Amino acid sequence: MRYDLLIAGGGPVGLYAAILAATHGMKVAIAEPKAGVIDKACGEGLMPAAVAALLAVGVAPAHQPFEGIRYIDSNRTAEGRFSRGVGWGVRRLALHSALMERAFDLGVQTERTAVHTIDAQPEGIRAAGIEARWLFAADGLHSPLRKHLGLQLPARFPRRYGIRRHFVIAPWSSFVEVHWSEQAEAYVTPVSDREVGVAFLFDDRLKGASSEPPFERLMAAFPALQERLRGTDVGSTVRGAGPFEQRTLHQASGRTLLIGDAAGYLDPITGEGLRLGFEAASLALECIEAGNPAAYNLLWPRAYRRYWWMTAGLLTLRRSPLRKVMLPALQHVPGLFTAAVNALGAEPPPKRQRLLRTPI
């Protein structure tokens, strides 16, 4: 085989997996159709566990630290501070560039091509003309390979979408601020000492029949934020993504393992996509090193369980009349919010050694 591992998709999770595998001595190639440093709609807040994962593989992009999450509605705030470590606000371009550089230094090959089909080989796979023992599909939220493998399941929640833009202004808070309104949430992430990112998350009711709602219309739902940013220069174009929810039947099929958003995703409401993607990449690698890819079908749901339940709970609360009591409750029991914030990104590694040794 030409490579030990082929990774379809050179986004942050594909690159992270490539770096990890290369540091384990594997010969790795990435197939990515887009050239250069890739931008994408994202809230750009890395939880402490994601920061630790990056540092562990020698990746440290330019960043602005933040010390927790602050929820804000028209007249209340509640905040949860990280008890261990800090989060990083990182521009997607900075993150992608740092990951690419590290992968290049480790000898990871990049082929500028898309992968749409997979041919099984006696000891591996062949995809886009490249032969490898294993394939990781890291081809994003709308993963063509997940569909090709017949692993896509229908969504359960109403569709939600996101758009983001940057503003050239010194951060006014050392927290990621989450502003709540009836229709949407606005995430404000400090990404440098002179710039913040604003990402809106919203559902079908605001999307309209054909096009995304303009950034300005969403901003108008947050008068205090709008006032603070009035007259500020913009630092990027508007980018959108969605619908978010992607459910999968399972996450490994033969010698192909889905990682990152391709493996399944619910919503960015807890700001956890990258932390989970890095964890999944590491689990997938352990499974192929143990020669037991099917174990990933048990380990992935365990790693994502807490995220899935917390996110589903928040989305349900979001649409119910109880939404109005959420902030007062968090404000009156501050320990509750701190515990929730520290539960995000603090998933202990599942006990997996026994599973990895057991052929499934």
Catalog residues that contact ligand FAD under the rule CB under 6 A: 8-14, 31-34, 38, 40-46, 50, 114-116, 138-141, 144, 162, 164, 199, 241, 260-262, 268, 271-275, 277
For the bound state, the minimum distance from the C-beta of residue 280 to ligand FAD, rounded and expressed in Å, comes to 9
For the bound state, the minimum distance from the C-beta of residue 270 to ligand FAD, rounded and expressed in Å, comes to 9
For the bound state, the minimum distance from the C-beta of residue 87 to ligand FAD, rounded and expressed in Å, comes to 9
Is 6 within 8 Å of 132 (Cβ atoms)? Answer: yes
For the bound state, the minimum distance from the C-beta of residue 209 to ligand FAD, rounded and expressed in Å, comes to 21
Q: What is the dihedral of CA 198, 204, 208, 213, to 10 degrees?
A: 0
Closest CA to 46 of 236, 273, 337: 273
**Residue with smaller CB distance to ligand FAD, 69 or 287:** 69
For the bound state, the minimum distance from the C-beta of residue 115 to ligand FAD, rounded and expressed in Å, comes to 4
Distance CA(15)–CA(30), nearest Å, equals 8
For the bound state, the minimum distance from the C-beta of residue 83 to ligand FAD, rounded and expressed in Å, comes to 19
For the bound state, the minimum distance from the C-beta of residue 142 to ligand FAD, rounded and expressed in Å, comes to 8
**Residue with smaller CB distance to ligand FAD, 40 or 247:** 40
Is 16 within 8 Å of 278 (Cβ atoms)? Answer: yes
Distance CA(121)–CA(328), nearest Å, equals 58
Distance CA(19)–CA(245), nearest Å, equals 27
Residue with structure tokens 């202990």? 348
**Residue with smaller CB distance to ligand FAD, 304 or 337:** 304
**Which pair of tokens denotes residue 273?**
């996509």
**Residue with smaller CB distance to ligand FAD, 142 or 323:** 142
Work out whether strand 3-8 and strand 64-66 pair parallel, antiparallel, or are unpaired: unpaired
**Residue with smaller CB distance to ligand FAD, 34 or 332:** 34
**Which pair of tokens denotes residue 275?**
């932390």
**Which pair of tokens denotes residue 164?**
């983001």
Residue with structure tokens 């994601």? 50
**Residue with smaller CB distance to ligand FAD, 13 or 149:** 13
Compute how many other C-beta atoms are within 10 angstroms of the C-beta atom of residue 328.
Answer: 12
**Residue with smaller CB distance to ligand FAD, 257 or 262:** 262
